[in-house]
Amino acid sequence: MKPNIQPTDKEIELGPDEFIVSKTDVKGRITYANRVFMHIAGYGENQLLTVQHNIVRHPDMPRGVFRFMWQELAEGHEFFGYVKNLSSDGSYYWVFANITLDVDENGILQGYYSVRRKPAPHSIAVISDIYKEMLRIEEAADAKSAPDKSIEYLQNLLHEKGTSYSNFVLDLEEENAQSIA
């Protein structure tokens, strides 16, 4: 059962060389969590293993982003995206996530690998505004259609920009890398 945590305005930032790594089964239950994940999220290994990965889902995250992520994974694609997570003490942390399928030697899905790193601050400023609008759309819709309505907004926005979600977020990260160099 997901704990009832009151979010705060305290941000935890990943270090530039820190990576959060986790693995889940096909139902999204955590089967592996590295020490960075445990430290940043504020949970011990025994509190994370076999628990749904959404234990760290922040209420500022639109449901549509996760529905989109699961659609991408169901189609066999890897997922790149920005996620605001919730620590056990109510603080939050942003990550740039890459989620890939874990398949056995016969191509049978066993679960998912996720590697998360510190996102570019500029990227978070851009994506936060998009996520706020997605949340506003979800709050105005009925619970069943809310995620699809926010995905529709996101897809329309990306269509106007002539890009896909993956290309959009990868381009945001690339822009930041080039501005630092």
Note whether residue 4 is domain-resident. Answer: no
Q: Residue 119 maps to which CATH number?
A: 3.30.450.20
Report the domain count for the chain: 1
- Residue 54: domain span: 19-180
**pLDDT tens digits, one per residue of 119-149:** 988 999 999 999 999 999 999 999 999 999 9
Instruction: Give this prediction's pTM.
Output: 0.92
Note whether residue 65 is domain-resident. Answer: yes
**pLDDT tens digits, one per residue of 2-38:** 678 999 999 999 999 999 999 999 999 999 999 999 9
Note whether residue 167 is domain-resident. Answer: yes
Note whether residue 2 is domain-resident. Answer: no
Note whether residue 94 is domain-resident. Answer: yes
For residue 88, pLDDT over 90 is answered with: yes
Mean pLDDT of 70-91: 96
**pLDDT tens digits, one per residue of 142-181:** 999 999 999 999 999 999 999 999 999 999 988 755 554 4
Note whether residue 41 is domain-resident. Answer: yes
Note whether residue 8 is domain-resident. Answer: no
Q: Within a 10 A sphere around the Cβ of 119, how many other Cβ atoms?
A: 24
